[in-house]
Chains A and B, each alone.
Chain A
Amino acid sequence: MQSLGSDAMQVEPTAEDLTGIRTFSKIVNAGTKLRYKNPEPQRRNIPFFTFSGTSDYWNEKVQEDIYIKSQMGRYRIRGYGAARPLPHLTDIAFKKDLSQAGQDPDLLKRVEMRMTLGDKHGARPLDLSMPVMIAPMSFGALSRSAKLSLAIASRLSGTAENTGEGGMMDRQREAADQLIFQCLAGRLGWNVHDMQRANGLEIYISQGAKPGLGGQLMAKKVTRELAAIRGIPEGIDLRSPSRHPDVLGADDLVIKVEEFREATGHRIPVSIKLGAGRVRDDIKIALKDKFDYVELDGLQGSTGAAGAEVLEHVGIPTLAAIQEALDALAEIGATGQLPIVLMGGIKDGVDAAKALALGADAVAVGTSAIIAGGCIACMQCHIGNCVVGIATQDPEHEKRYNTPAEAVHIHHFLEAMRWQIAAITDGLGYSDVKQLCRDDLVATTPEAAKITGLEYAPQFRDPNLQLRAS
């Protein structure tokens, strides 16, 4: 304690005080009522192209959906993000011929990629070897081993890892050079000790997979250890709140940011995680509330578990999100004043380079990093029996995960992204990723053109790629 205030003093506790403390009893919720009655029947994927688009309207997927709901009386839950085809970065192309790009073995020496993030308000910034970070993903949704391998990979590639919801693990802290600590509405696992040993603090408002809703973690994954780290009963179907209890609006948020800064001596950058909705308004508020940067997540962003309808139908696509964010800043003459880390469906360095050229300052990868580390995209993360030991808390399943090997795989994936971004930058005639710009891009679909305002150039589509294979 540094100051007790002017009229306070330190005294010894009385005997009465001490017995009072000893008879203190902890109230623990057994959690028996916090579990769903009928478990959701487990189904493996119907291919994504079975959707309203060019399939039958009452297709197999629709029928399955109705059938399952009629058997359990509840909305459905699953892992991953919006699964149907959406306008995306993939509908944007580079104007210039890049067919010779990336062949120079010395490529990385010629392209500047290093960047700092988070010093807008005087904090010590993150030092990133390239504009790519690991997206926040929680221990809980992911196994301890999977989290650990992400932390190691982030160090090997000189970038930052993020705790996501659900607390910080010691081993994760040790393994990652730069670790961002996320604070959610449920404040699960949140404490000042961990705040101080983080390299970044992040207030979670929402994420692209389930904006406007809190998280879900199914009972199977709420193990003793996990419950302890989050401070909740073991074995419940955890539904986290979606609203910070002491943040009712923009004005409270600015106070929260200030509190975080004070608690950490203004040393650590404070960011905000936003699922894309009314981005135009939200970005302006984020700027006003003095965040150092924004992590902006589109409709495609993934999760470990969320309502299927929310995953598919709430929020705007990643492409629209970055556009609205940039427009918002331009509208108030603040272009370039709030760095934006874009995420949601970034699959490679090509997507990343397009996002950067559109105006994002960096990107983050969640699902692709997980896939690089062995995920097979079965979308059953919510069940907790992950077949490769990633989205599980079951030791029998976690055993299947080879942390050192997968850490190297994730690292290699990040390095492939690095190569691709560098190759594109170089191929477009630049020497610094910051030079990537919109003039290099065209849109290949009417949607992408309208959303971004880029020139519509259908000739950049591949004529051989028919709409759908028979």
Chain B
Amino acid sequence: MADKTLAGTPPGSGWSPLDLRDDTDDLHFVPAPCQTACPIGTDAPSYIGLIWEGRQLEAFEAITATNPFSSVCGRVCDAPCEPACRRADSDGPIAIRNLKRYVMDELGTSIHLDPVQPTRDKSVGIVGSGPAGLTAAQDLALAGYKVDVYEKFDRPGGVMQWGIPAFRLPPRILDEDIDRILKRCAGITVHTSTALGEQVSLDELKARHDAVLLAIGAARGKPMGVPGEDHALVEDGVGFLRRINAGGERPTLPETVLVVGGGDVAMDACRMAKRLPGCKKVKVVYRRGPGEIPARKDELEGAIKEDIEFIYHAQPAEIVEKDGGLALRCVKTEPGEPEEDGRRAFRAVTGSEHDIDCGMIIAAVGQTGDCDELCERGLINTDRVNTDFESMRTEDPQVFGAGDGAFGGSTIVVAMHHGHKAAYYIKQYLEGNEAPLPYRTPYRTRRVEVAQDIMWEKYPRQEQAFHGLGAKPADFPEIESKYDRETAIAEAARCFRCDAETGTADYSVRNREDIFLMARMQPGEAKSQAAMLQKRLRPREILIAPEQPASFDDIVFLPANLSRLVIDPYREACRTDTELGGGIALQHPYLVTGFDDAPDEVRRAVARAVQKTGCGWLGRTRPEGDISWLHLLKPGEAPDANAAAAIYEIGGSFTAFEPERASESQLVGLSVQGPALATAIPFALENRLELMVLDGTRGSELAGPPDLTVLRDAIRILRGLNREEEIDLIWHGGVRSGTDVAKALALGGMAAAVGVSMAIAAGGTVSGSAIAYAGDRTFEERVSAAEYLIQSMAAETSIMARCTGKTNIHNLEPEDLKTITVAASEATGIPLAGTR
């Protein structure tokens, strides 16, 4: 459970929905299909990623950033994101809605942000407290306006309050969201039981407020238009839902109930009827086929699971009394040609009249907007508030429209989109901006890392447990229960994370998405093809910065193909044994370094691995065990007799000194930085020193990329003197892999020092300019990790040699290399690929 004491402190950045930064132009982000399918642009991939990481508070932030009804949506959102999910095509979409519910159930009531006070003089009157009205209210209040919401009903919430039954949406969930909105937005006042046209008139509102928003929904049930429908046993669906949901009634129903219609009201009415006392059988009568029914898929499935019968292709013609009950006289229909909205038309089949007997009929065949005053003033056109979708304006410049009342029946999330959009245009209007930029849903990313769950490809979609009617149906217990933690994490792991940048520059998220689009474009369709061409012609960002320092990564090997005999890497060995200065024999060309000040256990573990793998040790103090030790010391200090070599640290400026040997067999060398090369090399040759450590670390390996010019210059000086063979060069700087070592060898080195990489393998973490070790590993684990690192590096170094056709890593030569940046070409003297 996340830390609730954080309440009031906005987690993440830009918490307020109104100063959302739009990331649409970010070069490493393309909004995922789920995000663009969401009318309010919910950053679902981020919250899914955060859930996987257990960062619930941040997930809560991502969810609620643009969605004031997040708790409601966790249960009953239409979730257009899910069919858009790319995983829908493989093994089922991510259960984005269930994941939202998981977070909201955990945190929904516990987090309240500091109230925002009104800061402006102007005020807005909003009629209707459904999702459209309250979303606009929140946006405007957060922008500093005073907002008065007028609601006809005695409680706010619109359909969410009176329409959606408790078994799908317990009332406390709606209260939770409204409570969050009102606690946060000090500028909102809700006037319940105040209907436009009854308690208040439009003129009054226009006088009181600088702008008015009509978000009145569509809640007047349409009649079926058949004889007999005014019978007492025929009830309008909206009224039925309202008296039971909001009124709390639990009437006893006749045994068989018919519901006519196939939309939202029909679905909730039939499932509600099924739960009421007396009712045994519920049948839904719908005039078209199962392919055309507008009901949400999960609701339809729920109803079927609850044993509700669906009668398709039946068109009511008349209602008659029969045996003390009713009969719905229907005609059969058959499909006709597809209509404009894609649904098929239907026509009645002659002579197909039949009766469906029942005790009660609930008519749920559509709703219209409901306000006589607006009708009288000509603001309602047939059944909607006449609103321009581009500007959300009505004919009255001071009055705006939004939601189902303006654009017809939709969904909660679409109504919220209208709310955001209306608030945007109202603000522009209040600020006197007559030609505002068109509203655009912002797409924001929280740049959450991709879940590192090894099961992500395998987990199937996780469903919530379904309980159906429950033990006491009339109490309307919830139909589903939320995920537990494990299930939520498993579901979150499944996300493809279409929003996240990929691991490859060529098939970056932008390129990948364009390829996806091209694959879905109509061939030869000039307009879209031309538009895509323009997109693709845009130059890419410059990925190799001109000022970027040369690095090992900018050097590549040239493989053997036809011009050289290819070595079979899986069957032919490649030698890595290394002899330094004619006296030190190593299994691999690696000298481990940098452990003089490491914790004793780490030092001993690494030394053990070095001994086991036959590598060398470069350091000031003597390692434990039988190891070739290259003793680092300052001029003037005495070399240790146990050391295989004495390496005098010269650094960047050279002054002549007396190099010593502790014994005849001990080798001697210098460790030199770039500026000292010109004097140190002749000195070393003169004194017949066997070794030279080329220090390209720029002071510390952790400082950044190594200075490759040290290697280049040393070779140039030696070559100039024609004495390349007389001294063995050991590279020190930025070695991260066996490949880096192979490059150092090809450039002229005989071995390389491995410092930071070994520290990381031994359990160290880079923290700033130092390595920190935690006590989280056993001695044996450290030994094994160090040993494994050396083994993998040895494999890498030899693979590079084999690719170039060599069976001994020491046969690598500059001729096997090319560079891929101008900087690297200059720093190493190796030609750029493609050039000579």
Contacts and interface: CB of A to CB of B under 8 A. Distances in A.
B321 interface: no
Contacts of A98: 533, 537
A277 B561 contact: yes
Contact of B803 (A80, A103, A213, A249): A213
Interface stretch (B211-219, B405-413, B567-575, B666-674): B567-575
A461 B534 CA distance: 15
A317 B555 CA distance: 11
A428 interface: no
A77 to B, nearest CB: 11
B248 interface: no
Interface string B527-547: 101101110111111111110
Contacts of A320: 818, 820, 832-835
B398 interface: no
Contact of A445 (B86, B452, B544, B558): B544
Q: Is chain B's interface secondary structure helix, strand, loop, or mixed overall?
A: loop
B553 A67 contact: no
Contact of B89 (A285, A374, A468): A374
Given A48-B504, A212-B566, A74 B792 contact: yes
A274 B515 CA distance: 26
22 contacts: A48-B501, A66-B760, A66-B789, A67-B761, A75-B799, A81-B504, A103-B527, A107-B526, A212-B569, A243-B568, A278-B558, A285-B563, A310-B799, A313-B743, A323-B834, A324-B834, A347-B515, A372-B516, A397-B457, A423-B530, A467-B541, A467-B542
Interface string A357-383: 000000000011001111011111001
The 10 closest A-B pairs by CB, nearest first: A45-B503, A320-B834, A85-B543, A212-B559, A73-B788, A211-B559, A212-B803, A400-B90, A415-B523, A320-B833
A311 to B, nearest CB: 10
Given A310-B800, A376-B512, A465-B539, 15 more contacts: A69-B737, A69-B789, A86-B820, A101-B533, A212-B561, A213-B569, A243-B568, A314-B558, A371-B512, A379-B502, A387-B496, A424-B533, A451-B833, A467-B541, A468-B541
Interface in A44-99: 44-49, 51-54, 56-58, 62-63, 65-67, 69-76, 80-81, 83-88, 90-91, 93-94, 98-99
B526 A88 contact: no
Contact of B529 (A57, A73, A102, A383): A102
Contacts of A243: 565-568
A75 B538 contact: no
B533 A465 contact: no
A53 B516 CA distance: 28
Interface in B3-59: 26-29
Contact of B508 (A48, A62, A374, A410): A48
Given A242-B566, A275-B561, A67 B514 contact: no
A318 B762 CA distance: 38
Of B450, B558, B566, chain A has the most CB atoms within 10 Å of the CB of B566
Given A248-B565, A300-B506, A348-B514, A69 B544 contact: no
B802 interface: yes
Interface residues of A, number: 143
Contacts of A313: 553, 555-557, 739, 743, 800
Interface centre among A98, A310, A372, A377 (most CB of B within 10 A): A377
Contact of A315 (B90, B536, B556): B556
A93 B540 CA distance: 10
Contacts of A303: none
A386 interface: yes
Contact of A371 (B456, B516, B558, B832): B516
A420 B536 contact: yes
B803 A314 contact: yes
Contact of B506 (A250, A345, A378, A462): A345
B524 A419 contact: yes
B520 interface: yes
Interface string A395-434: 0010011100000011111011111100110000000000
B822 A447 contact: yes
Contact of B519 (A323, A372, A451): A372
Contacts of A231: none
A40 B407 CA distance: 55
B543 A53 contact: yes
Contact of B538 (A206, A253, A388, A462): A462
Contacts of A385: 457-458
Contacts of B567: 212, 242-243
Contact of B507 (A41, A371, A374, A419): A371
A351 to B, nearest CB: 8
A57 B565 contact: no
A53 B824 CA distance: 11
A105 B537 CA distance: 19
Contact of B799 (A107, A213, A324): A213
B521 A350 contact: no
Interface in B819-836: 820-822, 832-835
B443 interface: no
Nearest to B527: A103
Contacts of B792: 69-70, 72-76
A70 B570 contact: no
A8 to B, nearest CB: 36
B454 interface: yes
Given A48-B505, A85-B505, A317 B820 contact: yes
A416 B504 contact: no
Interface in A168-210: 205-206
B541 A83 contact: no
Nearest to B793: A69
Interface in A198-238: 205-206, 211-214
B451 interface: yes
A211 B803 CA distance: 7
B552 interface: yes
A412 B835 contact: no
Nearest to A373: B519
B681 interface: no
B734 A44 contact: no
A416 B456 contact: no
A317 B833 contact: yes
Interface string B610-652: 0000000000000000000000000000000000000000000
Nearest to B529: A419
A45 B791 CA distance: 24
Given A373-B519, A409-B520, A420-B533, A379 B539 contact: no
Contacts of A275: 559, 561
A214 B788 contact: no
Contact of A88 (B506, B556, B738, B788): B506
Nearest to A325: B834
B795 interface: yes
A271 interface: no
B505 A86 contact: yes
A46 B503 contact: yes
A329 interface: no
Given A44-B456, A413-B518, A242 B568 contact: yes
B800 A104 contact: no
Contacts of B512: 371, 376-377
Interface string B589-613: 0000000000000000000000000
B674 to A, nearest CB: 18
Nearest to A157: B523
Contacts of A415: 523-524
A461 B820 CA distance: 20
Contacts of B558: 277-278, 314-316
B87 interface: yes
A307 B799 contact: yes
Interface string A242-276: 11000011100100000000000000000000110
Given A44-B456, A53-B545, A70-B785, A315 B502 contact: no
B561 A347 contact: no
A57 B706 CA distance: 9
